């Protein structure tokens, strides 16, 4: 159906046209059906550079939803991105949005498979528009890597997420950040506090 964002995005996805997806749909009124944030090519370059500098070779995204961001991110940066979700029953039901990567499901109590994923060397942990404080802390406690990415709304956007970009996270410090286009959404990259600037390049 013309004007249906879901079908149009699916067509572009089949043709691997990630740039057309973000350029055409970043301010579409129904964009949240598939994804909350549509970063630009420049945003992906920023993230890629951060991850290269911090020696990360893969990303685990928690609460990835449809996985559209994760698919686009892996296409745009060349870095593999896996996505974790809860509620497998919902994501398999006919009313659920389409999925763009194979989702990894976990029960509320994080299971062994996900703990193994969180222990893989050179992994960055990502939360985009996540909204579950206790779960965020649980994942972070199980994560053994040094890089954390929080994507979400800045102050004044009128949307609540937990965690928010720029908020203080115990034992982590803000490394670099960039606004997603001019959307008042932000990509905030944190590093583990025990790692001083520059040390990463040598581990």
For the segment 158-197, give every residue that binds ligand SAM (CB under 6 A): none
Closer of 53 and 137 to ligand SAM (Cβ): 137
Q: Answer positive or negative: Cα dihedral of 72, 87, 188, 54.
A: negative
Q: How far is the CB of 148 from ligand SAM (least distance, A)?
A: 15
Closer of 127 and 172 to ligand SAM (Cβ): 127
Kindly report the number of other CB atoms within 10 A of residue 38's CB atom: 23
Total binding residues for ligand SAM by CB under 6 A?
20
Q: Which of 9, 21, 22, 35 binds ligand SAM (CB under 6 A)?
A: 35
Q: How far is the CB of 124 from ligand SAM (least distance, A)?
A: 15
For the segment 48-107, give every residue that binds ligand SAM (CB under 6 A): 62-65, 69, 84-87, 106
- The CA distance from 174 to 2, in Å, is 43
Task: Give CA torsion, residues 20, 77, 144, 155, to 10 deg.
Answer: -50
- Shortest Cβ contact with ligand SAM: which residue? 63
Instruction: Provide the pairing of β-strand 81-85 with 103-105.
Output: parallel
What backbone torsions phi and psi does residue 124 show, to the nearest 5 degrees?
A: -105, 140
Closer of 64 and 117 to ligand SAM (Cβ): 64
- 92, 145, 173 from 148: Cα distances, Å: 29, 8, 9
Residue 129 touches ligand SAM, criterion: CB under 6 A: yes
| Contacts to ligand SAM by CB under 6 A | 35-37, 62-65, 69, 84-87, 106, 108, 128-132, 135
């Amino acid at each position: 159906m013309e004007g249906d964002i879901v079908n149009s995005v699916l067509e572009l996805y089949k043709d691997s046209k990630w740039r057309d997806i973000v350029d055409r749909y970043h301010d579409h009124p129904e964009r949240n059906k598939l994804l909350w944030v549509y970063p630009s090519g420049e945003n992906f370059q920023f993230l890629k550079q951060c991850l290269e500098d911090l020696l990360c070779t893969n990303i685990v995204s928690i609460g990835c939803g449809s996985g559209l961001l994760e698919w686009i991110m892996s296409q745009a940066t060349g870095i593999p991105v896996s996505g974790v979700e809860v509620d497998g029953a919902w994501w398999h039901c006919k009313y659920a949005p389409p999925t763009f990567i194979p989702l990894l499901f976990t029960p509320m109590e994080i299971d062994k498979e996900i703990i193994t994923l969180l222990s893989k060397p050179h992994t960055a942990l990502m939360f985009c528009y996540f909204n579950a404080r206790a779960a965020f802390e649980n994942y972070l406690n199980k994560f053994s890597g040094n890089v954390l990415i929080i994507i979400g709304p800045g102050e004044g956007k009128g949307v609540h997420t937990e965690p928010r970009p720029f908020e203080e996270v115990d034992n982590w410090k803000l490394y670099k950040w960039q606004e997603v286009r001019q959307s008042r959404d932000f990509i905030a990259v944190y590093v583990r506090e025990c790692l001083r600037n520059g040390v990463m390049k040598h581990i």
